[in-house]
Amino acid sequence: MIICVCRRISDRDIARHARAGMGFDEIQFELGVATQCGRCENCARDVITQCSATAPTAHLSLDAPVSKGKAWITSAA
């Protein structure tokens, strides 16, 4: 998805740099994101936060079993 329309910078471009350990200022200097109109800055910062090498990765697990409701009941035809 294109994050910066002015410079045509995608979320993948930003994420690649963030995973390499670069911060917003470094990515802004390297790619030019948020240097024209600035409307993409918040979104770019969000992508960087989600992909940062120092940010923890969320691991989801179910602690309790899922109860089966009426939607799970199938009729034998």
Distances (CA, A) of 23 to 14, 15, 48, 58, 63: 10, 11, 7, 20, 35
Looking at every residue in the chain, the average pLDDT score rounds to: 82
What pLDDT shows up at residue 52? 75
What pLDDT shows up at residue 66? 58
pLDDT(44) > 80: yes
How far is the C-alpha of 40 from the C-alpha of 21, rounded, in Å?
20
How far is the C-alpha of 15 from the C-alpha of 28, rounded, in Å?
12
Average pLDDT over residues 37-66: 75
Q: Structural domains in the chain?
A: 2-51 (1.10.10.1100)
For residue range 53-69, what is the model confidence (pLDDT) as tens digits?
Answer: 665 555 545 555 656 56
